[in-house]
Structure 1
Amino acid sequence: MSSSRLTPKAFFVAYGVVLLVMAALDAVWLGWLGLDMYKQEIGPLLLDTPKWLPAALFYLCYPLGLVFLALHIRPSTLGEAVLRSAVVGLVAYGVYDLSNLATLRDWSVKVCIVDMVYGTCASGFAGFLAMKAANKFS
């Protein structure tokens, strides 16, 4: 790997991988594994049905930010790709969760911590898979 930028094709591939990985991980996490914790900790704040337009906008925008900020200037190793992607996840999820903790009456410290760890790990994993895929198109 070199310190060059991703080609447009590799960028698009990385974007698609991050979008699919984050959507799949969130489907499992939010729809099954973490659902009970969210209901227990912040249940009154949850909608019965998600608002799909803001969710779709997140899934279109977040992969773009992760690929642009963490991977577009090609990491020298896959480990660096994971680290950069994880930092993007920590910052993005941290801004959301810490802002909620600072401003919402019933936001849970447990949700804040768990969600930040989840976002960091999910983003690092997505960045790893995206870089592996992007390398095939360089």
Structure 2
Amino acid sequence: MNAAFKPYLAALIVMGVLDALWLGVIAKDFYREQIGAQMVEQIRWAPAAIFYFAYPAALVALALFPAGQPFSHQVARAALVGLVAYGVYDLTNLATLRHWPVRLALVDTAWGTFASMAAGAVAAWVAQKFN
């Protein structure tokens, strides 16, 4: 099995579970309060699936490879990937949308950084343990 597949699968599961809890339970009301009128009634599953399958691949590729880095470096790089990815999204929305609150941009960027760090940490652990 490819050396990247197990870490990818780990990152996919962690990001999926964390974001499901975050968006569906923990911060659901927060997002409704901040951008409720802009939210769709039903999730558009095709773009969501593209993101949730592609992002962990990018996270693993950018944070874990080349192989052999110290675990702490891999986790820090995963956090950096999250900071950049979610930061670009939120700052672009802040710059271009009329009703994108600064508070939302800060919370969402912090969340993306944390979730990416957690997914990267589990993926790095899996890579070291099973590859």
Contact 1:10/1:135 (8 A) holds in 2: no
Q: CA deviation at 1:75?
A: 5.2
TM-score of the superposition, structure 2-length normalised? 0.96
Partners of 1:43 and 1:66 in 2: CA distance: 29
Structure 2 letter corresponding to 1:19: L
Q: Which residue is 1:49 aligned to?
A: 42
The one of 48, 56, 75 aligned to 1:63: 56
Trace 1:91-106 onto structure 2 (pairs within 5 A).
91-106=84-99
Structure 1 letter corresponding to 2:128: N
Q: CA deviation at 1:60?
A: 1.0
Structure 2 letter corresponding to 1:59: Y
Structure 2 letter corresponding to 1:71: L
RMSD, aligned α-carbons? 1.1
Partners of 1:117 and 1:82 in 2: CA distance: 15
- 3-state SS, counterpart of residue 10 of structure 1: coil
Contact 1:18/1:130 (8 A) holds in 2: yes
Gapped regions of structure 2 (runs ≥ 5): none
Structure 1 letter corresponding to 2:114: C
Bigger shift: 116-125 or 66-75? 66-75
Work out whether 1:10 is the aligned partner of 2:3.
Answer: yes
- 3-state SS, counterpart of residue 90 of structure 1: helix
Partners of 2:35 and 2:129 in 1: CA distance: 42
- 3-state SS, counterpart of residue 136 of structure 1: helix
Structure 2 letter corresponding to 1:15: Y
Identical counterparts, % of pairs = 48
Trace 1:1-138 onto structure 2 (pairs within 5 A).
9-74=2-67, 76-138=69-131
Contact 1:15/1:130 (8 A) holds in 2: yes
Partners of 1:108 and 1:55 in 2: CA distance: 22
- 3-state SS, counterpart of residue 23 of structure 2: helix
